[in-house]
Amino acid sequence: METASELADVLELRLDYMEKPDIERLLERKPKPLIATNRPRREGGRFEGPENKRIALLEKAIDLGVEYVDIEHDSVGDFVEKAGAKIIVSYHNFKETPNNLKEIHSRLASTGAHIVKIATFARDITDNLRVLRLLEEASTLTAAFCMGELGQISRILAPSFGSFFTFASLDKGKESAPGQLTARELLEVYHVFKVNRETDIYGLIGNPVGHSLSPLLHNTVFRKEGLNALYLPFQVQDLSTFIKEFKCLDVHGYSVTIPHKEAIINLLDGLDPLARDIGAVNTIVNQQGRLIGYNTDSTASVRVLEEGLAEKGSSLQGKKVTLVGAGGAARAAAFGLRERGAEITIVN
């Protein structure tokens, strides 16, 4: 708790992870407000004992002065009548993001709990949009986000859409739900509490994207330059649906990586002549609602080689170049090399 309190505003005590929780001692030493959670197996937790024992631990936490208690939607019962702690009524779906989110939210809100929490599993990146829309329209205090790798962008954007909490792990490997980012990632890479509805959103389209350093690079530069901008990793499976659905977020621009550099072309509103000639796009600019594709791979890769050769008084003209790979980036490099008169061998 002491370590986590340096990063978080509120700490969650997962009593179901503890064999014999000493609640009194834990609450005596709390450095920040606490959420007491004792999640049963049916809702993705680890508590396996009798239901009355599970509830009794939460009631004890309330009696000892815990600030929040997270209770499952099927156990809330008379819990809201308990004085002294704010009640979070929660719904978890580890299989999907159901179509009836509004209905679920309405049912949870009707319990009289102080905060409604909804966490669903993202099977497609567009599921994030439905959760963010729910937050936007909610009239009660709500925390909502998607779980899983495809749901990470909702954890980053949720606070700017009105989510009362966003959850993070203290370290990698210590996640209490799939897809949780670490607190340091949320704060230091995505600057989550500086993001608002005026923030310009950019991102990387690819599959996979988890390995990419682009969010760290771009977000660091945005902060250094004082720009209210955010760069997100978009792991996209269905490219056509993504381009159509994410127009509602008004994303200002995209980087494009494998495997979408060529497939994206037919989904754009326009192409820069160089990108058209190469047949691959690595950059998209939103120009007043029209998505225009560009290719900077060719110019950049050739320029680096030319600068290096120029230092030795040479050029690419007539040079023999072996190109390893034949994807979108290789296509761009080959185009630029050929224009400069190089002889190319492609190995793939």
- Active-site residues: which are they? 92, 117, 261, 297
Cα(119)–Cα(99) distance, integer angstroms: 13
Specify whether the CB–CB gap between 68 and 35 falls below 8 A.
Answer: yes
Neighbour tally for 141: CB within 10 Å: 17
Q: What is the three-class DSSP state of 119?
A: strand
- HSE toward the beta carbon, residue 266, CA cutoff 13 A: 5
Distances from the Cα of 297 to the Cα of 207, 216, 330, angstroms: 19, 20, 9
- What is the three-class DSSP state of 198? coil
* Both tokens assigned to 222: 């945005």
SS3 for 93? strand
Please name which of 247, 222, 162, 245 lies closest in space to residue 196, comparing C-alpha atoms: 162
- Radius of gyration over every alpha carbon of the chain, rounded to an integer in angstroms: 25
Report the distance separating Cα 265 and Cα 1, nearest Å. Answer: 50
Neighbour-count burial of 75, counting CB atoms closer than 10 A to its CB (0-12 exposed, 13-18 middle, 19+ buried)? middle
Residue 323, classed as helix, strand or coil, is strand
In terms of Cα–Cα distance, which of 100, 97, 101, 91 is closest to 70?
A: 91
Structure tokens at 82: 């308990």
Residue 142: is it exposed, middle or buried by C-beta count within 10 angstroms (0-12/13-18/19+)? Answer: buried
